[in-house]
Amino acid sequence: MIDIKWIRENKEVVKENIKKKFQDHKLVLVDEIYDLDMEWRKVRLEADTLRGEKNSFAKEIGLLMKEQKKEEAEEKKEVVRSLNEQILALEMKEVELEKVIREKMMLIPNIIDESVPIGKDDNENVEIEKFGEPFVRDYEIPYHADICEALGGLDKDSAGRTSGNGFYYLVGDIARLHEATIAYARDFMISKGFTYVIPPFMIRSDVVNGVMSFEEMDAMMYKIEGEDLYLIGTSEHSMIGKFKGQIIEEGQLPIAMTSYSPCFRKEVGAHGLEERGLYRVHQFEKQEMVVLCKPEDAMDWYNKMWSYTVEFFRSLDVSVRTLECCSGDLADLKVKSCDVEAWSPRQQKYFEVGSCSTLGDAQARRLGIRMKTSHGNQFLSTLNNTVIASPRSMIAIIESGYQSDGSVIIPKVLQPYMGGLEVIRPKQK
């Protein structure tokens, strides 16, 4: 949610930003909010004026009572009663207007950074840089689900019977590889100075509304029936919600955290769940980075955070590239975002394994998170970034380490987390 001042003072800038995001249907909201805000300020001024009159009459009544002029005092009291009724009506109208304005403001996209490329969707995202050489084996690499099944590590048929499409059982060394990757990601981020956190895996609706747009919520979140609780789709929702309504001393910033959680997503409107594979599923696990900082430090943190993900995957011997998200691919709360994509030697193309975003003060404004400074309380900036989303990250590791005999070499950095195991070999039939 942007500051209402943007619409009061830079209405055309807000409209231009909406056009850059190809959301022209929201242009009418800007004028509606502007007019409603004008009405709200008029109502507030009228209420303040009447409160001033009421206070003047109160003083007069006090003097009249001292002078034993009770009849005149009673006449003034009648005026005060009338003023109270008018003030109450104006206050109710003020609250009603505030509610409508906030609801409409929640639909206005954040002001994107000037460096964001303009484009309609993810097809127009722009490659920034490659890290490591993309390679092609001189032997065929099977589909990752087939590799996992040959290694005795994946059972989607049973998951289909227990839970339906989009779920899976990981078994044996593949399950160990999954957990090893998560554990290594945790330790990697701790070594970068991030505090490790395990957050609640369910959050209330007021937190959901504070961290994401309504469209995202409908497409992603599972609601717990009969309760005001949602299963988290990613841990930064819970992590940012941790600071809801808080005032943080400026000296405590930045707050850098790395969080583990399972994640649950409906994937409504996505490119489709994979019946056999692990790329797009309803349930997965994730190691995340979340930073709260002063607004002037946000871009420095943004660049550090995506670089950590690149460094992490390179330590796994996985080649990656970074991709600048265009305006039309940015969620409404985001100021700037980039994806990290891993090279798939099987498909001979890159696929997304992480995303880094700076959201300005949008989440802080929605959730009332401020920093206490010598100049008063101010909204701070929030950022988030994927370290890994597993099992998607495992696809990159498995394909990169796949050998012609059907075995998979485990990256050296993960071997200590797997009891020294160096290679996962196919199960004998």
What 3 state SS string does 353-405 have? EEEEEECCCHHHHHHCCEEEECCEEEECEEEEEEEEEECHHHHHHHHHHECCC
Which residues partner with 375 through β-bridges?
Answer: none
Quick one: CATH architecture of 122-424? Answer: 2-Layer Sandwich (3.30)
What string of DSSP letters covers 196-254? EE---SEE-HHHHHHHS-HHHHHHHPEEPTTSS-EE-SSHHHHHHHTTTT-EEEGGG--
Q: Tokens 């032997």 — which residue?
A: 139
Instruction: Tokens for 298, please give them.
Output: 């946000």
Instruction: Give the domain 4-105 fold.
Output: Helix Hairpins (1.10.287)
- Gap between the Cα atoms of 400 and 413, Å rounded: 14
The pLDDT assigned to 170 comes to 95
Which residues partner with 289 through β-bridges?
Answer: 258, 385
- Gap between the Cα atoms of 148 and 177, Å rounded: 11
Strands 349-358, 336-344: parallel, antiparallel or unpaired by DSSP? Answer: antiparallel
Instruction: Tokens for 81, please give them.
Output: 């009663």
The pLDDT assigned to 271 comes to 52
Q: Where are the domains of the chain?
A: 4-105, 122-424
> Which tens digit of pLDDT belongs to each residue from 74-122?
777 888 888 889 999 999 999 999 999 999 999 999 999 999 999 999 9
Query: Helix, strand, coil: what percent of the chain each, to 5?
Result: 45, 20, 30
Instruction: Tokens for 255, please give them.
Output: 């707050």
Instruction: Tokens for 222, please give them.
Output: 């599972």
The pLDDT assigned to 274 comes to 55
pLDDT less than 50: residues of the chain: 270
Query: Which own/partner pairs from 346-349 qualify as long-range (CB within 8 Å, at least 24 positions apart)?
Result: 346/141, 346/142, 346/143, 346/144, 346/399, 348/134, 348/136
The pLDDT assigned to 280 comes to 85
- Gap between the Cα atoms of 101 and 33, Å rounded: 6
The pLDDT assigned to 74 comes to 73
145: left (phi over 0), alpha (psi -120 to 50) or beta: alpha
